[in-house]
Amino acid sequence: MSGSVDARLATLGLIIPTPTAPAANYVPSVQSGNLLFISGQISIADGTLLTGKLGADVDLEAGRAAARQCGINLIAQIKAAIGDLDRVKRVVKLVAFVNSTPDFTDQPKVVNGCSDLFVEVFGDAGRHARSAVGVAALPFNVSVEIEAIVEIA
């Protein structure tokens, strides 16, 4: 039976994919008490890497789309870890890394792609603390990688 979060996903036309397996020696998530720590999710959609550097070969809107895809991938990992997305009490924090040139300073605008998605999907429980950091490179040359801490019931 679908919950309210699943209903919101359907209304938004979002299909949550099967989560990707870790690319190295780590686990996708760890639960400690009522907190779920989700490993960094890269900008990958339907097996296609969303690559490139903001401020060089990727524009702001493509960066926002890459961050939104990271958010979808985070939701997939959350669902895999806890089953029912209605168990999400609060998205506590996002830490986001944006593959960008030294002079690119719109990392927060890029990461809004994920932040806005979490508010659309989880409502007020999706509002979170956040860091948006520019980095010189990311694995597989992806544009964005985001990790999350989520409080669960």
The answer to the question of residue 57 being in a domain is yes
pLDDT of residue 56: 98
Q: Indicate if the pLDDT at residue 53 is higher than 80.
A: yes
pLDDT of residue 141: 98
147 and 39 in contact (C-beta within 8 Å)? Answer: yes
The answer to the question of residue 115 being in a domain is yes
Range of the domain at 107: 4-12+28-152
The answer to the question of residue 51 being in a domain is yes
The answer to the question of residue 19 being in a domain is no
121-128, Cβ contacts within 8 angstroms, sequence gap of 24 or more = 121/5, 121/8, 121/9, 121/12, 121/14, 121/75, 121/85, 122/5, 122/88, 122/91, 123/8, 125/88, 125/89, 125/90, 125/91, 126/91, 127/91, 128/90, 128/91, 128/92, 128/93, 128/94
Provide the β-strand partners of residue 31: 36
| Domain count across the chain | 1
Confidence of residue 1 (pLDDT cuts 50, 70, 90): very low
Q: How far apart are the first and last CA of the chain?
A: 18
pLDDT digit string (tens) for 71-129? 999 999 999 999 999 999 999 999 999 999 999 999 999 999 999 999 999 999 999 99
pLDDT of residue 2: 56
pLDDT of residue 23: 85
Give pTM, 2 decimals: 0.96
pLDDT digit string (tens) for 10-37? 999 999 999 988 989 999 999 999 999 9
- Identify the CATH number of the domain in which residue 38 sits: 3.30.1330.40
